[in-house]
Each structure stands twice: as C-alpha cells, then as structure tokens.
Amino acid sequence: MLETRNLTSGYGAITVLWDVSLTFRQGALTAIVGPNGAGKTTLLRALTGLLPYSGEILMDGKPLKGKGQSKGSAKTWDLAAQGLVMVPEGRLVFRDMSVEENLCLGAYPERCRADLAANLERMYAFFPRLKERRRQLAGSLSGGEAQMVAMGRGLMAKPRILLIDEPSLGLAPVIVNEVFDIIRRLKGEGTTIVLIEQNTRIALSVADDVHLMRSGKVILSEKAAGIDLDRLHDLYFAREGTTEGASR
C-alpha cells in the first residue's frame, strides 16, 4: 500500500501540491483526474523521488527510504528497486535506442536481471507489435507504439505499484482502447496501479477509487462505482454553482 500524508511539494519557491493526503489501496486501481496544471504529474514526481517534499510518503506503512539511507528522501532508482515504478507522461522513450534496448533498460533493478529474457518475452506477448519492431529505433515509432514501449519498459522493472501518467494523451481511440486493455490485464494480475488520466470516462471504466485534483489539492475522493459523472465534471471544470469540496 502507498500513502501520502500532508504531502506538499513543488519547484523551488513555487508550491504546487498542498497537503495532499491519499491512500492507494493494494491491488486496486486508483485514478487521479483533473484539469491541466492541477499538479497530477507533480504528485507522481514527488512519489518517485524526483522532487523534494514535506509531509510523508509511506509504502507498506513505512516512510519511503533509499537503500542504506537512514534519512533523506529516497532516490528514484531505489524506489524502482523496491517496486515503485512510473511510466512518465509524454511516453518518454530513449529515441536513439532500439525498442528492445529501451525495454531492457527497465530491467535495471538487480532483482529483474536474472530472468530478463523471460520477462522480455512476456512483454512481447503483451505487445506483439513491439516484437515486430524490436530492432527499430524508438524515435521512429508511432505515438501508440511509443506508449507501449514506455509501459513495457516500466513493466520490465516488475512493479508492485505502477504509476502511469496520462497514457491516452494524443492517441487515437482504437489505440487508447488497446492501452487500457493492457491496464485492465495488469489490474487483473494484482498490480497496484495509480493512473493519471484526463479522460474521465475511460478512467472511471477501470478505476476502483477516484480522486479529483484541482490547483494542487484533492477536492473529491470517491469509489468509482458510486461516482456521479455530472457532479465530477462540474467540479472538474469549476462550473458555476459548485463549490470546491462541496457535497450535495
């Protein structure tokens, strides 16, 4: 389980996240939705050791720590080694490396190296198109293929908790469906998933829990099954007649 308590973070003098307290349940898919600039990516950066923060981040009830560190925030690679892995926004791939080299980089944590070949075959079973293009430079892939490489690379690190930032961004609907089929499969395998997504409909179709962020704060937290999409959209777009955090 992953948890934040009063997480405050940002960039230098600019505070973006304000007192964010969230629980990501084990084995569940938690969707975080919200408009541009809400702080969704910033939250994932703080969770993965890329930004300093105040407050607490707990994994399995213990504050996140790096290997051998008695204090100080954990490093991103240590967290990946512990199974906390992010698939970044904008499908960042190493453009001058092949598809297969990109995937293998994901297996950097020591615990992933012994069965790298088998794990690679598992990725190719997930994404058959990547097998066909295994020797192609990642920079020449289509957007959908690059998203698959970014996800495959994250999965090569055998995540216990997978953080996925806007996988649908800029993709055609048919490719979005393919990507979400994979996310459903991962969920079915018991991976704890935190999904950042602006497409609320598709997010709700896979999520167990939903949080709405706006202006660096969580303004709505609900089970996906019980959520009223109109109310969610009212709060999302800050439509007139609604108040932040208001309940009916």
Ligand X SMILES: Nc1ncnc2c1ncn2[C@@H]1O[C@H](COP(=O)(O)OP(=O)(O)OP(=O)(O)O)[C@@H](O)[C@H]1O
* Residues at the interface with Mg ion (CB under 5 A): 40-41, 89
Determine if 14 is a binding residue for ligand X (CB under 6 A).
yes
Residues 81 and 67 sit within 8 Å (Cβ to Cβ): yes
* Nearest approach, Cβ of residue 210 and ligand X (Å): 15
| DSSP helix/strand/coil, 86 | strand
Residue 39 interacts with, from ligand X, Mg ion, none (CB under 5-8 Å by kind): ligand X
* Nearest approach, Cβ of residue 162 and Mg ion (Å): 16
> Which of these segments, 36-44, 64-72, 139-147, 148-156, binds ligand X (CB under 6 A)?
36-44
- Could you give the string, one character per residue 69-98, with x where binding to ligand X holds by CB under 6 A and - elsewhere? --------------------x---------
In DSSP notation, 176-241 reads HHHHHHHHHHHHHTT-EEEEE-S-HHHHHHH-SEEEEEETTEEEEEEEGGG--HHHHHHHHTT-TT
Q: How many CB atoms lie within 10 A of CB 66?
A: 18
* Nearest approach, Cβ of residue 31 and Mg ion (Å): 14
**Is the Cβ of residue 198 or residue 199 nearer to ligand X in the bound state?**
198
Determine if 164 is a binding residue for ligand X (CB under 6 A).
no
Determine if 13 is a binding residue for ligand X (CB under 6 A).
no
Angle subtended at Cα 178 by Cα 176 and Cα 181, rounded to the nearest 5 degrees: 110
Nearest Cα neighbor of 60 from 193, 208, 183, 160 is: 160
What letter would DSSP give residue 74? P
Residue 109 interacts with, from Mg ion, ligand X, none (CB under 5-8 Å by kind): none
**Is the Cβ of residue 81 or residue 163 nearer to Mg ion in the bound state?**
163
Residues found near ligand X in the complex (CB under 6 A): 11, 14, 16, 34, 36-42, 89, 198
